[in-house]
């Protein structure tokens, strides 16, 4: 495809704020062999190639390259190739969508699921969110994109991230045109270092994933509980005690929504009954009914010790589903309260542009869990001192939270920018990271040397250079510009 409108739309994202050069051409392969042919042409003419799948990444990951680039749209390669129920694994093409995979398993009565869940219902624009509301099958996040960004989500407390062993094997087309499989289908293997991991979080800069073998987990019934606290600090400190309690291993998710976010959800009009306007934790608890009930009782006692004034346990499946929906669609239900709103992201922020010209930055930082109360507390204080309106939502069970900051004009935007930089540096000072789950793309390159150190960056660059000496794979993304070094 070379239509200028198509090229523009493939290089652009409402979620990104990092500039958006159009691609020179969009190509939609149907097989690994097609990808090999495309890479052959790119290699011959040293033409940049940007893999593109669900296009929901937030840091300018799939923007076009300034001198022109081939956008490789992998979303058509979306087939499930084989389900091995007895081995609890599944082979699919990389364009397969994780929510579709789980839906297929459910429809076929297979009690297994793929547990990585990067933002259920994540869409790349408000227009698509409106479609998603009526057609949940419109969710676009794909296995290839999830490998690319090293994603995770609310389930990370129990199941870890993309860097855990959920990807058993990847089929990859390398920049030299060779097709490799990183492993076989065995659950474990000691054959040297882990080449599967080389591609997790590589953001399409080392090769193109065309197929994947996914490890599946048994579906375990779960229930939901919600607790309210006097402040975020009390809420976050309760999480640690819950996770280290004897029932900690039954906690699938722990999510924090601050009082402002609860208000935004109420205003979004998507809740059946108004939520209490207090800093709140949402727990998903796994296990048989009696275990879950005992776990809920333990959580109730722990949160009470941390000042919780209200505790609600949703004991039926319907009630649990209802309660969890509030967390699941927190961001988008907030947006739906602002007709005409649109979204984009900056380097460390997710940005919401509301009709009244108020804008929200989403900052995503992650620290060791024990440091989270300090990070959240200081960040809330900082935002209040700057006079910023903000909401907080986070996967606090694994030390990760998102802050949304509102602004209305250029002046306030500068205030937000300052607050965001302070937040990132605060997270780094607490031994944390500038990106808990969304990846680096164009936006977070500037923080990487400070976070990882020059030696680690040099190692990353050495790998990149060895695998892709002509720098044709998604150039400009991920690797920071190292002083004194010639970057690929």
Ligand X SMILES: Cc1cc2nc3c(=O)[nH]c(=O)nc-3n(C[C@H](O)[C@H](O)[C@H](O)COP(=O)(O)OP(=O)(O)OC[C@H]3O[C@@H](n4cnc5c(N)ncnc54)[C@H](O)[C@@H]3O)c2cc1C
Residues near ligand X (CB under 6 A): 15, 50-58, 61-62, 74, 94, 118-119, 122, 124, 140-142, 144-146, 148-149, 151-153, 203-204, 208-209, 331, 437-438, 474
Compute the least distance from the CB of residue 388 to ligand X, in Å: 21
Nearer to ligand X, 228 or 346 (CB): 346
Nearer to ligand X, 209 or 348 (CB): 209
Give the H or E element holding residue 9.
helix 4-11
Compute the least distance from the CB of residue 290 to ligand X, in Å: 31
Nearer to ligand X, 141 or 333 (CB): 141
Q: CB 61: neighbour CB atoms within 10 A? A: 29
Compute the least distance from the CB of residue 54 to ligand X, in Å: 3
User: Dihedral of CA 383/389/395/396: which sign?
Assistant: positive
403 with 461: CB under 8 angstroms?
no
Compute the least distance from the CB of residue 413 to ligand X, in Å: 21
Compute the least distance from the CB of residue 175 to ligand X, in Å: 11
DSSP one-letter code for 455: H
Compute the least distance from the CB of residue 37 to ligand X, in Å: 16
Candidates 340, 314, 338; CA nearest to 327 is 314
Compute the least distance from the CB of residue 206 to ligand X, in Å: 8
- Tokens 């790119």 sit at which residue? 42
Apex 385 CA angle, 361 and 375, nearest 5: 65
Nearer to ligand X, 126 or 242 (CB): 126
Residues 218 and 417: their CA atoms lie apart, in Å, by: 43
Compute the least distance from the CB of residue 55 to ligand X, in Å: 5
Burial class (CB in 10 A: 0-12, 13-18, 19+), 179: middle
Compute the least distance from the CB of residue 143 to ligand X, in Å: 8
Residues 6+ apart with CB under 8 A from 221: 286, 287, 288, 289, 292, 317
Residues 71 and 179: their CA atoms lie apart, in Å, by: 19
Dihedral angle, C-alpha 236, 354, 275, 395, nearest 10 °: -30
Compute the least distance from the CB of residue 160 to ligand X, in Å: 12
CA 82 to chain centre: 26
Nearer to ligand X, 149 or 391 (CB): 149
Strands 222-229 and 310-314: antiparallel
Nearer to ligand X, 141 or 390 (CB): 141
Burial class (CB in 10 A: 0-12, 13-18, 19+), 387: exposed
Nearer to ligand X, 118 or 443 (CB): 118
Nearer to ligand X, 287 or 475 (CB): 475
Residues 280 and 391: their CA atoms lie apart, in Å, by: 12
Cα–Cα distances in angstroms (integers) from residue 81 to residues 76, 114, 119, 171, 448, in the given order: 14, 15, 25, 13, 37
Nearer to ligand X, 295 or 354 (CB): 354
Nearer to ligand X, 198 or 386 (CB): 198
Compute the least distance from the CB of residue 377 to ligand X, in Å: 23
Strands 279-286 and 251-257: antiparallel
Give the H or E element holding residue 36.
helix 32-45
Q: In terms of DSSP H, where are the helices of 356-479? A: 372-385, 410-429, 445-452, 454-467
Residues 427 and 340: their CA atoms lie apart, in Å, by: 33
Compute the least distance from the CB of residue 301 to ligand X, in Å: 30
**φ, ψ at 446 (rounded to 5°):** -65, -20
Residues 272 and 257: their CA atoms lie apart, in Å, by: 18
Nearer to ligand X, 122 or 225 (CB): 122
Nearer to ligand X, 22 or 287 (CB): 22
How many helical (H) and strand (E) elements, i.e. helices and strands, does the chain have?
16, 19
- Tokens 């090293």 sit at which residue? 150
């Amino acid at each position: 495809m070379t239509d200028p409108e198509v090229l523009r739309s493939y290089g652009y994202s409402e979620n990104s704020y990092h500039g958006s050069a159009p691609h020179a051409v969009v190509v939609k392969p149907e097989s690994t062999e097609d990808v090999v042919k495309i890479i052959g042409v790119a290699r011959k003419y040293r033409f940049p190639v940007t893999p593109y799948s669900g296009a929901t990444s937030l840091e300018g990951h799939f923007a076009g390259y300034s001198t022109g680039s081939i956008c490789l749209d992998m979303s058509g390669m979306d087939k499930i190739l084989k389900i091995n129920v007895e081995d609890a694994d599944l082979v699919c093409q990389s364009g397969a969508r994780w929510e579709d995979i789980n839906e297929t398993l459910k429809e076929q009565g297979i009690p297994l699921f793929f547990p990585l869940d990067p933002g259920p219902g994540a869409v790349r624009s408000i227009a698509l969110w409106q479609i998603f509301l009526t057609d949940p099958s419109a969710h676009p996040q794909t296995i290839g994109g999830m490998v690319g960004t090293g994603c995770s989500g609310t389930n990370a407390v129990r199941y870890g991230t993309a860097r855990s062993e959920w990807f058993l094997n990847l089929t990859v087309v390398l920049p030299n045109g060779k097709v490799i499989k990183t492993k076989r289908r065995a659950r474990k293997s000691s054959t040297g270092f882990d080449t599967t991991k080389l591609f997790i979080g590589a953001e399409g800069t080392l090769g193109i994933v065309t197929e994947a073998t996914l490890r599946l987990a048994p579906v375990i019934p779960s229930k939901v509980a919600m607790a309210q606290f006097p402040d975020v600090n009390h809420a976050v400190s309760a999480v640690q005690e819950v996770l280290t309690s004897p029932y900690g291993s039954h906690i699938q998710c722990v999510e924090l929504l601050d009082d402002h976010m609860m208000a935004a959800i109420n205003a979004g009009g998507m809740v059946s009954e108004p939520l209490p306007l207090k800093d709140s934790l949402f727990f998903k608890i796994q296990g048989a009914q009696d275990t879950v009930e005992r776990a809920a009782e333990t959580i109730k006692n722990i949160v009470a010790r941390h000042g919780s004034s209200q505790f609600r346990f949703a004991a039926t499946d319907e009630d649990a589903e209802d309660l969890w929906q509030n967390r699941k669609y927190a961001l988008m239900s907030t947006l739906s309260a602002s007709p005409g709103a649109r979204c984009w992201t900056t380097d460390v922020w997710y940005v919401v542009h509301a009709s009244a010209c108020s804008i929200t930055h989403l900052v995503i930082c992650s620290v060791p869990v024990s440091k989270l109360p300090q990070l959240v507390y200081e960040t809330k204080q900082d935002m209040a001192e700057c006079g910023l309106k903000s909401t907080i939502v986070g996967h606090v069970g694994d030390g990760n939270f998102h802050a949304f900051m509102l602004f209305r004009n250029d002046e306030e935007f500068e205030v937000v920018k300052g607050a965001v930089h302070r937040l990132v540096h605060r997270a780094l000072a607490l031994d944390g990271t500038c990106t808990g789950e969304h990846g680096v793309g164009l936006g977070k390159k500037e923080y990487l040397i400070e976070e990882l150190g020059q030696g680690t960056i040099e190692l990353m660059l050495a790998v990149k250079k060895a695998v892709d000496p002509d720098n044709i794979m998604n150039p400009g993304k991920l690797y920071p510009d190292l002083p004194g070094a010639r970057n690929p």
